[in-house]
Amino acid sequence: MSLREKIKAQRERRKRSIRIKIEGSSKRPRLTVYKSLKYVSAQIIDDSKGLTLVSASSQEKDLKSGKNVDIAKEIGKVLATRAKEKNISEVVFDRNGYIYHGKIKSLADGAREAGLKF
69, with CB counted inside 10 A (0-12, 13-18, 19+), is middle
CATH code assigned at 17: 3.30.420.100
Residue 34 belongs to a domain: yes
Single pTM value for the model: 0.85
Predicted pLDDT of residue 53: 96
Residue 51 pLDDT grade (very low, low, confident, very high; cuts 50, 70, 90): very high
Assess if residue 86 is contained within a domain.
yes
Structural domain boundaries, residue 39: 3-113
In 3D, which of 59, 63, 111 has the Cα closest to residue 88? 111
Nearest 5°: phi and psi at 42? -145, 150
Please report, rounded to a whole number, the percentage of residues in the chain having pLDDT higher than 70. Answer: 100
Is residue 118 in some structural domain? no
Q: Picking from 10-14, 29-33, 74-78, 104-108, which range would have the lowest pLDDT averaged per residue?
A: 10-14
Helix (H, G, I), strand (E, B) or coil at 15: helix
Q: Which comes out higher in pLDDT, residue 117 or 62?
A: 117
- The domain total for the chain is 1
In this model, does residue 23 exceed pLDDT 80? no
